[in-house]
Structure 1
Amino acid sequence: MTNSIKTVLVLGGTGRTGVLVAPLLRERGLTARAAARSNAEVRFDWDDPATQRAALDGVDGVYLVAPVPRVRYAQQVAAFLDLAEEADVRHVTYLSTYRGEQAPETMDFRAAEAELRDRTAFTHTILQPGWVMQNFADHHVPIIDDTLTVPAGAGAEAFVDAADIAAVAVETLIDPAAHAGRRYVLTGTEALTFDQVARTIGAVTGRPVTYQDIDRDTWVRAVVATGFVPADYGVVLDWQTASIATGNGSRPTGDVHRVTGRQPTSLADFARRAFPAAEDALTG
Structure 2
Amino acid sequence: MSESLRHPHPPTSTTLVLGATGKTGARVARQLAQRGLSVRTAARSRADVQFDWNDTATFARALNGVQGAYLVSPVLRTDFAGVVSQFLDEAERAGVRHVTCLSAYGMEHAPREVALRAVELDLASRTSLTHAILRPAWFMQNFSETFLKPVQGEIVVPCGAGAEAFVSVDDIAAVAAETLAHPERHTGRAYAPTGPEALTFEEAARQLSVAAGRRITYRDMDREAWITAMVQAGVPAEYGEVLRMLTETVAAGRGARPNDDVQQVTSRSPIRFADFAAETATVWR
Unaligned runs of 5+ in 1: none
Aligned partner of 1:223 in structure 2 is: 230
Aligned partner of 1:94 in structure 2 is: 101
Q: Deviations over 1:123-145 (max 9, x none)?
A: 00000001001110123222011
Contact 1:98 1:128 in 2 (8 A): yes
What is the one-letter code of the residue matched to 2:241?
Answer: V
Aligned partner of 1:68 in structure 2 is: 75
Residue 238 (structure 1) aligned to one of 227, 241, 244: 244
**Residue 106 of structure 1, CA deviation:** 5.9
Aligned partner of 1:111 in structure 2 is: 118
Say whether 1:185 aligns with 2:192: yes
Task: Please report the TM-score for the alignment, with normalisation by the length of structure 1.
Answer: 0.94
| Counterpart-to-counterpart distance in 2, 1:7 and 1:36 | 16
Aligned partner of 2:217 in structure 1 is: 210
**Residue 107 of structure 1, CA deviation:** 3.4
Aligned partner of 1:82 in structure 2 is: 89
Contact 1:101 1:109 in 2 (8 A): no
Aligned partner of 1:258 in structure 2 is: 264
Residue 162 (structure 1) aligned to one of 153, 169, 173: 169
| Counterpart-to-counterpart distance in 2, 1:136 and 1:113 | 27
| Counterpart-to-counterpart distance in 2, 1:140 and 1:103 | 24
Percent of counterpart pairs with the same letter? 51
Aligned partner of 2:8 in structure 1 is: none
Aligned partner of 2:49 in structure 1 is: 42
Report the 3-state secondary structure (helix = DSSP H, G, I; strand = E; otherwise coil) of the residue aligned with 2:146: coil
**Residue 101 of structure 1, CA deviation:** 2.1
Within 5 A, what are the aligned runs for 1:8-47? 8-47=15-54
| Counterpart-to-counterpart distance in 2, 1:139 and 1:177 | 35
Q: Deviations over 1:21-73 (max 9, x none)?
A: 11211111211011001121110011212211110000000000001111111
What is the one-letter code of the residue matched to 2:279?
Answer: R
Structure 1 residues 61 and 180: CA distance shift in structure 2, 3 A: same
Structure 1 residues 214 and 106: CA distance shift in structure 2, 3 A: farther
| Counterpart-to-counterpart distance in 2, 1:194 and 1:49 | 40
Aligned partner of 1:268 in structure 2 is: 274
Task: Give the number of aligned pairs.
Answer: 275
Aligned partner of 1:247 in structure 2 is: 253
Structure 1 residues 5 and 71: CA distance shift in structure 2, 3 A: farther
Task: Please report the TM-score for the alignment, with normalisation by the length of structure 2.
Answer: 0.94
What is the one-letter code of the residue matched to 1:136?
Answer: F
Within 5 A, what are the aligned runs for 1:116-131? 116-131=123-138
**Residue 260 of structure 1, CA deviation:** 0.2
**Residue 275 of structure 1, CA deviation:** 2.2
Report the 3-state secondary structure (helix = DSSP H, G, I; strand = E; otherwise coil) of the residue aligned with 2:241: helix
**Residue 263 of structure 1, CA deviation:** 0.6
| Counterpart-to-counterpart distance in 2, 1:190 and 1:113 | 27
| Counterpart-to-counterpart distance in 2, 1:184 and 1:213 | 30
Report the 3-state secondary structure (helix = DSSP H, G, I; strand = E; otherwise coil) of the residue aligned with 1:63: strand
| Counterpart-to-counterpart distance in 1, 2:161 and 2:111 | 23
Report the 3-state secondary structure (helix = DSSP H, G, I; strand = E; otherwise coil) of the residue aligned with 2:218: strand
| Counterpart-to-counterpart distance in 1, 2:112 and 2:131 | 22
Residue 200 (structure 1) aligned to one of 202, 207, 218: 207
**Residue 104 of structure 1, CA deviation:** 5.2
| Counterpart-to-counterpart distance in 2, 1:99 and 1:37 | 29
Report the 3-state secondary structure (helix = DSSP H, G, I; strand = E; otherwise coil) of the residue aligned with 1:144: coil
CA RMSD of aligned residues (A): 1.3
Structure 1 residues 5 and 208: CA distance shift in structure 2, 3 A: farther
| Counterpart-to-counterpart distance in 1, 2:174 and 2:222 | 36
| Counterpart-to-counterpart distance in 2, 1:121 and 1:107 | 24
